[in-house]
Structures are given as structure tokens and as C-alpha cells.
């Protein structure tokens, strides 16, 4: 089955797994998804991620391990929200001075820039703009 928006699919899988309390998520892998997973891990939203060979089909599978806080009954996901900003039907590009703040700095905007996939804070430091892929808080 072909997915028209692989990043939107990734974010929806993460959101659904966090709401259901699942510890791990598996999805088809790509370079862009690996870059986003790396940013989510660096920002403290994921425990870890790895890429493993797919069983019975070509390609790789990306496995994400979600991070939770609290003990057994009061366990809540660290990740409280995800929003896809730039979609295939409506691309959203910003300049270096227009990079959005997510939840007054408590969240992270993930951008695809000419210098690679990075957070909004890093893009501000480097003075580059790009496509706003998603916002995470």
C-alpha cells in the first residue's frame, strides 16, 4: 500500500501509540523519518530508536521506543502533542526570522532546511529557514 504522506503517517502512529500506552512502535523506515526520530530522541520525547531489517519484505523497519513518566498507574507519555504543519497539499515554508515558537518555547518545531533536518532553535542559530515539517510538545 502506498502512503501519500509518510511523515503524517509516522506522527499519527506515534500519537496513537502514546495515547494507548504502547511502549514501542514499528513503521517503514526512510532517511527523513530517521532524522525526525533522532531529533525526538535528542529533545527527550523518545527513549531510543533503531532500524532493523523487515521480515518477509524488502527495506528496513524503524522501531521507536516511547518515553513515559510516572509509575505504573499514573504513567503518562512525555510526548503530549504532535501537529503536522506542512502537508503534501499545502507546503509551509518560513524564513529565518519567521520560525515559529511552539508553546512559548516548551515545544519543538522540526524543519527541513538546506543544511538538513533540524529543530527550529538550531535553524535560528544557523540563520536558515526552510519547510516546517511538524511541531512537537
Write the pLDDT tens digit of every residue in 47-77: 999 999 998 888 999 999 999 999 888 899 9
Looking at the structure of the chain, the number of domains it has is 1
- pTM for the predicted model, two decimal places: 0.94
CB atoms within 10 A of CB 15: 17
Look up the CATH number of the domain holding residue 31: 3.30.1490.10
Q: Which domain holds residue 31?
A: 6-136
Does any domain span residue 1? no
Q: At what angle do helices 6-20 and 31-42 cross, to 10 degrees?
A: 40
Looking at residues 39-48, what average pLDDT do you find?
A: 97
Does any domain span residue 79? yes
Query: Residue 82 has what pLDDT?
Result: 96
Beta strands in the chain (DSSP E): 24-28, 46-53, 60-66, 68-69, 76-77, 82-84, 93-94, 108-113, 116-119, 130-136
pLDDT band at 1 (very low <50, low <70, confident <90, very high): low
Amino acid at each position: 500500500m502506498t502512503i501519500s504522506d509518510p511523515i503524517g503517517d509516522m506522527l499519527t502512529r506515534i500519537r496513537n501509540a502514546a495515547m494507548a500506552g504502547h511502549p514501542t512502535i514499528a513503521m517503514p523506515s526512510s532517511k527523513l523519518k530517521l532524522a525526525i526520530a533522532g531529533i525526538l530522541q535528542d529533545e527527550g520525547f523518545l527513549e531510543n530508536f533503531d532500524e532493523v531489517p523487515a521480515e518477509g519484505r524488502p527495506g528496513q523497519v524503524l522501531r521507536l521506543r516511547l518515553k513515559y513518566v510516572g509509575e505504573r498507574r499514573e504513567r503518562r507519555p512525555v510526548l503530549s502533542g504532535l501537529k503536522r504543519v506542512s502537508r503534501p497539499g499545502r507546503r509551509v515554508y518560513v524564513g529565518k526570522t519567521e520560525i515559529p515558537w511552539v508553546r512559548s518555547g516548551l515545544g519543538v518545531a522540526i524543519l527541513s532546511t538546506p543544511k538538513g533536518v533540524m529543530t527550529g532553535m538550531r535553524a535560528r542559530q544557523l540563520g536558515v529557514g526552510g519547510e516546517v515539517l511538524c511541531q512537537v510538545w
